[in-house]
Structure 1
């Protein structure tokens, strides 16, 4: 059994689950696995994956996990925590198949408030199972992690570990988090993985996901998507979890709709695609235009980071705002193998099971990262006046 703990999942999945339950309890959705790297999966992979998903039905939150979340995740109410204690995965929500060429198909379908939890453990299982069936072994786990931790501390970069989805294995991620905490001291701010945050006595870290904006775009229109998504987030969290993504429908489009009220209320932004230097310039210009002190705001950089990229960004920021880094695969799967290039994305949504599906798309600030129906992507671009 690859996933052994209920909270072996990222904080952002629970935070968006909470928001969905509060505002959109009848919403019904589909997610799809997207194999960006075109990896060929070994014969029998789909069957093994299905068995792992069935095993997840045994998972339940322990009293220790609940107590940790109640202490650290102060933005969740007691009703939600009690709900999580009774939550059980239903593998019938996940449809897995594989053709003779080794292409893997995975579709998740059901009420959004339930299916939202599948994405991260599903990807973690696919990654770990892939390397297990390939008889791959990790190398230099601690030595590489310690070297990175010391260098990040040396350049005084605040950072968190975001590597659950594409990790080599749970064991590797566990060992890496331990090394980072020990050797970066105050510069290591936490991990996205709630169970590992509990185990290593650190902070669970998370922001809002692209799917939150994608849902609003699909149902309310692309011009209204950012405004509706941000206002809904504030309605639920009231200022907590105040780092917002900008690139669901491109950062340029985001800044056109980002109001002064929201800019003052949200603690900062997350740069998850595109040129980070350009992102910094656009952000500083926006805050200056709105007479907001940039030094009081944060940018979380989280796109394909390594030590050289972090150094370059940090040097350019030069204390003009608070920069922090969410580093994923570079930590959890830098062990001598080529990590899988994959995502699980929201593809269709409807406001209730009785209504019709609407296509959900994501544009990103990088062309190759666009996801969703091609025709719908073009409609989105045309609506927003994008090339």
Structure 2
């Protein structure tokens, strides 16, 4: 059984970014590089390549395109473009290097490569997880792993249900954002189905995976990710205007929906300097991905107040490796001042008693020039070029 069997089995943000790339940057060339923070080496390269081969045979199905068309987010020309999409194998290479480390590179036109990263991450994660579910004696324990997952998921649902009954979750809401971290496609389906059946709909509000959103009639969640703002560092505008230009172009394409913007591509303080009255009014809110979540949210609330915007009309989305305990604590502390939504990833989709991978694809080049990001955590700075990193720190006044 192959791992990816639908091009809709991705992140919703990849689709929203693809539309604007098609309309504004159809000739831009980019390069992505795979990164793993795990000390344990990832092997099984033949199996990974076989799955990528299969991925490159897939096309969007008519019912999937009808679903996307029904969302009133995507334009007709983009839907018809998706009807033609088939990933090209020549744009991606996967191999084991001399240090026995997995190396994957994606390089080609942005519009032709943007759909690779999420399914390839899930392929690597699922293959790795499958072999982690084999004990030292060589006996498969996949069923035992799934049983552990079922037990842990049941405890989470019981925990939330108990808090609901006592009135402690008034206004609390969360979404699944775990596609890139999931144990398997099967497991993600199990989790989403149980959450939908056993929790109230205003508590579990959606998923970032459009395949499961379509299947379970849930709201698709997501707007943009880091590559959108990073690419603008090489798209013809001055570096100091790159972030603001990327956000203004998003508004020009979407007119406010979807409208949650990333806030840490060059650090949150630099983001707030660019997040002027125009942008703050037209975006629905901001997403937290690095740094202390409480202090981040307090700064965001203060920024809205300073601009004369009622923070209660805006959303703070928390997505930095959230679990339910942390998400509920943030909600109890800050929800009276701003609307809060939690995105839960690994804690839902890879809590089965075996360690998940910490892997990602990062855009490292755009139109032949380096790009980078500087998060608000020390481990979330990504840039291959020291000179470009120094330029980012200088232009955006980052003291790290």
TM-score (norm 1): 0.94
Q: CA deviation at 1:102?
A: 2.5
Q: Cα deviation per residue 1:91-142 (whole Å; 9 max; x = unaligned)?
A: 2110111035420100000100110111110100000011223444223333
| Equivalent residues of 1:159, 1:188 under 8 A apart | yes
Preserved CA contact (<8 Å) 2:96 2:103: yes
Kept in 1: contact 2:207–2:213 (CA 8 A) = yes
Deviation of residue 374 (structure 1)? 4.8
After superposition, where does 1:196-207 map in structure 2 within 5 Å?
196-207=212-223
Q: How does 1:376-387 map to 2 (within 5 A)?
A: 376-387=388-399
Q: Of 174, 183, 186, which aligns to 1:171?
A: 186
Task: Please show how residues 1-387 of structure 1 align to structure 2 within 5 Å.
Answer: 1-42=2-43, 45-72=44-71, 74-136=72-134, 137=142, 138-139=145-146, 140-152=148-160, 154=164, 155-156=169-170, 157-186=172-201, 187-219=203-235, 220-350=237-367, 357-375=368-386, 376-387=388-399
Structure 1 residue runs of 4+, over 4 Å off?
A: none
Stretches of structure 1 lacking an aligned partner (at least 5 in a row): 351-356
Q: Deviations over 1:63-112 (max 9, x none)?
A: 2211211112x110111111112211112110111035420100000100
Gaps of 5+ in 2: 135-141
Q: Distance in 2 between matches of 1:345 and 1:161?
A: 22
Cα distance, 1:385 vs structure 2: 1.8
Contact 1:40/1:101, CA 8 A, preserved across alignment: no
Deviations 1:254-288 (A, max 9, x none): 00111101111111010111101111110111011
Kept in 2: contact 1:150–1:184 (CA 8 A): no
Alignment partner, residue 137 of structure 2? none
If the length of structure 2 is used for normalisation, what is the TM-score? Answer: 0.91
Question: 1:146 deviation in Å?
Answer: 3.5
Deviations 1:180-225 (A, max 9, x none): 1112222111111111111112111112111111011233343112
Secondary structure class of the residue paired with 1:379 = helix
Quote the offset at 1:145 in angstroms: 2.4
Aligned residues: 378
CA contact (8 A) 2:133 2:354 kept: no
Q: What's the Cα RMSD here?
A: 1.4
Q: CA deviation at 1:379?
A: 2.1
The alpha-carbon deviation at position 378 of structure 1 amounts to: 2.2
* Secondary structure in structure 1 of the residue aligned to 2:181: coil
Shift of 1:61: 1.4
Instruction: Give, in whole Å, the separation in 2 of the partners of 1:114 and 1:152.
Output: 42
